[in-house]
Chains A and B, each alone.
Chain A
């Protein structure tokens, strides 16, 4: 890519070809079928639906007038396979191969949408045809996932059509490195990988650090069990990450980037690799981008899949080809990252925000969210909730809105008990705090954390001792074993919890758990250990009576634990 003009030309021509996805009927094409190709829908066999649809198109001789595009995850995975049919933007769910013929022959050829395949809000009489009218989507705000309904993740032109790489062009031709960092600082963007550190400040430190070369790293390890926000981005919109990283490269003076992805994400790796090739071919990676003299390229590093490898220092060590174990900070990666060189490390979702901020400006971005938490956050909703899957909401949306409006409430008329946020490092928030706005600080104050965006809804049948044990079980398995408080302390906590849930709990166990928990939090080497006690502490904080019941009465009211007298 030599210039902004050249980019604009590609955008214009591609955009014309994609008008149909904006609702403008086309003279030559009857429809674009955006079939969700996220992992959830692939496992519910969306590819069979695609085959059936191709067959139906062929049979009717209109294969050349309809495009079928596999997108990244659209969000409501439990309804998969899902699809959107343009130009009328009809949302279909739970598709079976046998439905393909109907979609082709009735909807695409005759213009009659198919109500039985549409989404119906619980309690509503009529289904909602248009995707953006569906309450589940209407309450969301998509920045990170801005492209997942619209683009073919394997098409760089699609990405460009939706303003892709315009931010990079702007950063390289119209902004100074300091301006870029200033803009990111002003946007209020905080890291989406868990700790919520100011992204602009991190870039500023790295830019100011002495040492060369510098590096830009993307954390795509995504180890929280049940989380797949980052995978959705990498699979659905890989160029947004590439573009974000290249902008950072310019801002801090780095020419090399690494994306660390776990080996369990083969499709993400494949899509990203393909996108990297395309970006290189189009001069959006490589030498002298936009004629600015700036060079940048990215390599993929595949992780072995240990949870702790997502911790920044462990990840950097792993990139160097060594055992992925955390090391003490300072020095921070900003001063001594990969190979001891200044390094910016950000999460996938953080990266995907960058182009939007640069293109639309920090003020527009900072207008979204709460005072100290700006923009949107992607969550993976799971557990006892009607709509599971991926959502993106403005910071400050309340838990109640997420659980009961977007998530559709609790199935089978059960009562809500708590929501667990932040995965194994997080905590449980009970019903009395449902109106808490979701942002970094509010969740922290409740003893939970934003984390990377895991959100598990628990209903009245969930035993909180059991939940705490479940998360600690994960931690005990995933502790790297380097520091003693985490290695031995979490094991001992787990043993005590195990005793409590087996009916062998004794007076003093809760206090001992608390003593262990506070010590581990205060002394563990890395974030894994420092947050590991959170699930236990927060359940003791809000559900102490359940612990006491197990210990004193040898009873589990939820009938989850099997207690022996």
Chain B
């Protein structure tokens, strides 16, 4: 253990602890900007400098490890003056556009400026001027607001292993962008939005599509329906100021009705449907010698990743569309017929924890209803914005129920939001379908949690089913490389693009960090337990859907509406 003194207090910490972490132990909160726990510890912004006795310079607390006998002062007048000047410098190269910025009141830079009481910026010199990149349907980059903290690079390179962003040029002209300042849309960027989650400022944000939704709601000709992704109910509260882990299912439904949606449906419904289609596809592959392991296809960021980096493995992907894209065509066919509404008049909105779904709904193959199946995708953040604009105080809204029939769901659909949830839901159904027995314990704990790669073998009748579950694309790579090398004997693999699964998706409320992810996961399983039905094949609305419309899983109509194909995209040179 290391003994040191911080602000005249004795501290004992593990070797390798940073001054920043050690200072937290004595209640000294050192300001940071580029630092992001466990992700980006590069000492770039220098806001966190502290005084260390005997050191030639001030020392950045986030990267400097403690040393025996170290004497640290975290907030001398001199240190504060220096931090203030650094902040003033950063602000001198920053557009003062808080009022019109997506991150207004949720911006780390703005918060620092407020805390330091910056009243004047004495430097009226040049500012970096790079154009906004709005080429992507999901993510908008505004390099003018970039503080060059490089968190986005770290998450894209080290967590997602996509490497769509890098540092270019040097000095004052340094730019964080796709290589050669290409457009994001032309890159391997999988639109996951993880960069927008970690960006401290408004330099990378989701594309805001709320105006489209307001316009549709205002249009009397339009029948506007909305689906809400499993994760959104454990996220929306945060976007409205509640504690992480809050469950806002009923209030969200109520609020959506207040906003004027004609029907409030649930993606959990098509999550259940996915289990039936995908479960049967798996059984078919196992019994007919199809390509194994089969890999889930619910996560559009993951799909794009596979299309770019592992096009040779596309046959492993389940042909099932994601739940949101199963929902779209069903609304514009099944539901339209049932309610006798012209599908041309239906406007289908998705609320998703995900930016990649904005991209997914625009894929050309996603119009099997004859129309664009899902018209627009809003992230949880954007929905939070709409609630605020409408003055909806969610905590005072009543608990309301989803509309029938596409709002009826089970706990199995609900847990799709957490890493391992799709697998667990599939096991609940596959087990009972194959064995004809009732599953004793439906909680597959092995599937749960934040571990990057989870593996399990589950005995289903005579067959020991080997499964793997990954979250975060870097972890997916590990398993994919095994498949490539012929070393993977799994039957079924769940891949989620974002760390922790959709509850940590790129459209989640900010901040989203490991602790918050864990709280949302806990909330997700609480929701699951609360449900009276917890197995997808028991969902009465799904049973009815097959009886009235689809026929049987993997049937002709299913293939037409619920399954898709993939495109080998490869990597830019």
User: Which residues on A are within 8 Å of B, measured CB to CB?
Assistant: 306, 308, 323, 325, 327-328, 330, 476-485, 487-492, 495, 512, 515-516, 519, 521-525, 530
A325 and B49 in contact, given A484-B147, A485-B89, A491-B172 (Cβ under 8 angstroms): no
Residues in B neighbouring A495, C-beta threshold 8 A: 123, 125-126
Most buried by B among A327, A489, A524: A489
Q: Are B82 and A479 in contact (CB under 8 A)?
A: no
The reply to whether B46 and A492 form a contact with Cβ atoms under 8 Å apart is no
Q: Which of A478, A512, A519 contacts B82 (CB 8 A)?
A: A519
Interface presence of B394 (CB below 8 A): no
Given A479-B171, A523-B46, also A328-B125 (CB < 8 A): no
B72-107: CB near A (< 8 Å → 1, else 0) gives 000000000010011001101100000000000000
Closest B residue to A512 by beta carbon equals B122
Residue B293 CB within 8 A of the other chain: no
In the complex, chain A residues whose CB is within 8 Å of the CB of B63: 328
Q: Is there an interface contact between A487 and B125, defined as CB atoms closer than 8 Å?
A: no
Other contacts beyond A481-B148, A525-B44: 14, CB < 8 A: A323-B166, A328-B60, A476-B172, A477-B170, A480-B170, A481-B167, A481-B173, A483-B46, A484-B86, A484-B89, A487-B148, A491-B125, A491-B126, A492-B92
CB distance from A312 to the nearest CB of B (A): 15
| Size of B's binding interface in residues, CB under 8 A | 34
Given contacts A480-B171, A484-B90, A491-B171, contact A523 B122 (CB under 8 A): no
- Given A330-B64, A522-B49, are A483 and B171 neighbors across the interface (CB < 8 Å)? no
- For A487, the chain B residues whose CB sits under 8 A away are 148, 171-172, 174
In the bound complex, residues from chain A placing their C-beta under 8 Å from that of B92 are: 488, 492
What B residues does A478 contact at CB under 8 A?
170-171
Q: Are B86 and A523 in contact (CB under 8 A)?
A: yes
Which of A308, A327, A479, A484 is close to B46, meaning CB atoms less than 8 Å apart? A484
Residues of A within 8 A of B46 (CB): 483-485, 523-525
User: Please, which residues of chain A bring their CB within 8 A of the CB of B147?
Assistant: 484
A487 to B173, CA, bound (A): 9
- B57 contacts A530, CB within 8 Å? yes
Q: Using Cβ atoms and an 8 Å threshold, which residues of chain A touch B166?
A: 323
Give CA–CA (A210, B170) in the complex, Å. Answer: 35
The contact sample of 6 A-B pairs, CB cut-off 8 A, is: A476-B172, A481-B167, A488-B93, A495-B126, A522-B58, A525-B60
- Which of A480, A489, A523, A530 gathers most chain B CB within 10 Å? A523
Check A515/B167 contact, CB under 8 A, given A483-B46, A484-B90, A525-B44.
no
Whole-angstrom CA separation of A303 from B41 in the bound complex: 26
A481 to B171, CA, bound (A): 4
Q: What secondary structure prevails in chain B residues at the interface with A?
A: loop
Q: How far is the CB of B405 from chain A (nearest CB, A)?
A: 55
Contact, CB under 8 Å: B171 / A484: no
**B43 an interface residue at 8 Å Cβ cutoff?**
yes
In the complex the two chains form, what is the Cα distance from A328 to B60 in whole Å? 9
**In the complex, chain A residues whose CB is within 8 Å of the CB of B60:** 328, 523, 525
List A contacts of B167 (CB < 8 A): 323, 325, 481-482
A161 to B65, CA, bound (A): 50
List, in ascending order, chain A residues with CB within 8 A of B57's CB.
Answer: 521-524, 530
Query: Quick one: CB contact mask for B34-64 with A, threshold 8 Å, 1 for yes?
Result: 0000000011111101000000011010011
Residue B169 is within 8 A (CB to CB) of chain A in the complex: yes
Q: With CB as the reference atom, state the residue of chain B lying closest to A491.
A: B172
Q: Chain A residue with minimal CB distance to B169?
A: A481
Known: A330-B65, A484-B90. A476 touches B43 (CB 8 A): no
Chain B contacts for A327, CB-based, 8 A: 42-43
Query: In the complex, what residues of A have CB within 8 A of residue B42's CB?
Result: 327-328, 482
A409 to B301 alpha-carbon distance, docked (Å): 70
B85:A482 contact, CB within 8 angstroms: no
Residue among A481, A484, A492, A522 making CB contact with B45, cutoff 8 Å: A484
Q: How far is the CA of A516 from the CA of B43 in the complex (A)?
A: 19
Q: Which residues of B contact A (CB under 8 A)?
A: 42-47, 49, 57-58, 60, 63-65, 82, 85-86, 89-90, 92-93, 122-123, 125-126, 147-148, 166-167, 169-174
Instruction: Name B49's contact: one of A323, A491, A492, A523 (CB within 8 Å).
Output: A523
- B171 CB contacts on chain A under 8 angstroms: 476-481, 487, 490-491
CB proximity of B442 to chain A, nearest CB, Å: 46
A237 CA / B122 CA spacing, docked (Å): 52
The answer on a CB contact under 8 Å between A479 and B122 is no
Assembly CA distance A523 to B82 (angstroms): 8
Q: How near does chain A come to B56, taking the closest CB pair, in angstroms?
A: 8
A178 to B571, CA, bound (A): 52
* Inter-chain contact B58/A523, CB cutoff 8 Å: yes
Inter-subunit contact B148/A484 (CB<8 Å): yes
What are the 9 A-B residue pairs with the smallest beta carbon separation, nearest first? A481-B174, A479-B171, A328-B43, A495-B125, A488-B89, A328-B63, A491-B172, A523-B46, A522-B58
CB-based nearest A residue for B62 = A328
In whole angstroms, how far apart are the Cα atoms of A193 and B196 in the complex? 42
Q: How far is the CA of A489 from the CA of B63 in the complex (A)?
A: 21
A488 touches B90 (CB 8 A): yes
A481:B172 contact, CB within 8 angstroms: yes
- Say how far A308's CB is from chain B's closest CB, in angstroms: 8
Q: What residues on A are CB-neighbors of B64 within 8 Å?
A: 328, 330
- Distance in Å: Cβ of A207 to nearest Cβ of chain B: 21
Q: How far is the CA of A523 from the CA of B172 in the complex (A)?
A: 17
Residue of B whose beta carbon sits closest to that of A494: B125
- In the complex the two chains form, what is the Cα distance from A83 to B297 in whole Å? 76
A479 to B172, CA, bound (A): 8
From A330, which residue of chain B is reached at the shortest CB distance?
A: B65
Least CB separation from B90: chain A residue: A484
Instruction: Tell me the smallest distance from the CB of B415 to a CB of chain A, in Å.
Output: 40
* Contact (Cβ within 8 A) B170 A483: no
Q: Which residue of A lies closest to B60 (CB)?
A: A328
Q: How far is the CA of A491 from the CA of B125 in the complex (A)?
A: 8
Chain A residues contacting B47 (CB-CB under 8 Å) are 484
CB-CB < 8 A to B82: which residues of A? 519, 522-523
Assess whether B172 is in contact with A484, with CB atoms less than 8 Å apart.
no
Distance to closest chain A CB from B191 (angstroms): 25
Inside 8 A of B86's CB, which chain A residues have their CB? 484-485, 489, 519, 523
Q: Report the Cα distance A529→B65, complex, angstroms.
A: 22
Name B125's contact: one of A480, A484, A492 (CB within 8 Å).
Answer: A492
Q: How far is the CA of A512 from the CA of B166 in the complex (A)?
A: 33
| A481-B170 CB under 8 A given contacts A491-B126, A522-B82, A525-B46 | yes
Task: Specify the chain B residue showing the minimal Cβ separation from A486.
Answer: B171
Q: Give chain B nearest CB distance to A471 CB in angstroms.
A: 14
The closest CB in chain B to the CB of A521 belongs to: B57
- A308 to B170 Cα, complex, angstroms: 10
Residues of B within 8 A of A516 (CB): 85
Q: Which residues does chain A contribute within 8 Å of B85, judged by CB atoms?
A: 515-516, 519
Determine whether the beta carbon of B170 is less than 8 Å from that of A306: yes
- Residues of B with C-beta under 8 A to A481: 148, 167, 169-174
Give bound CA distance, A479 to B63, whole Å.
21
Residue of B42, B123, B169, B171 with most chain A CB atoms under a 10 A cut-off: B171
Which residue from chain A places its CB closest to the CB of B173 in the assembled complex?
A481
For residue B124, which residue of chain A has the nearest CB?
A: A495
Q: By CB atoms of chain B within 10 A, which of A325, A524, A525 has the most?
A: A525
Within the complex, the shortest CB–CB distance from B169 to chain A, in Å, comes to: 7
Question: Which residues on A sit within 8 Å (CB–CB) of B90?
Answer: 484, 488
In the complex, chain B residues whose CB is within 8 Å of the CB of A482: 42, 44, 148, 167, 174
Smallest distance from the beta carbon of B170 to chain A beta carbons, Å?
5
Asked whether B44 lies within 8 Å of A483 as measured between CB atoms, the reply is yes
Q: Which residues of A contact B89 (CB under 8 A)?
A: 484-485, 488-489, 492
Assembled-state Cα–Cα distance A75/B166 (Å): 43
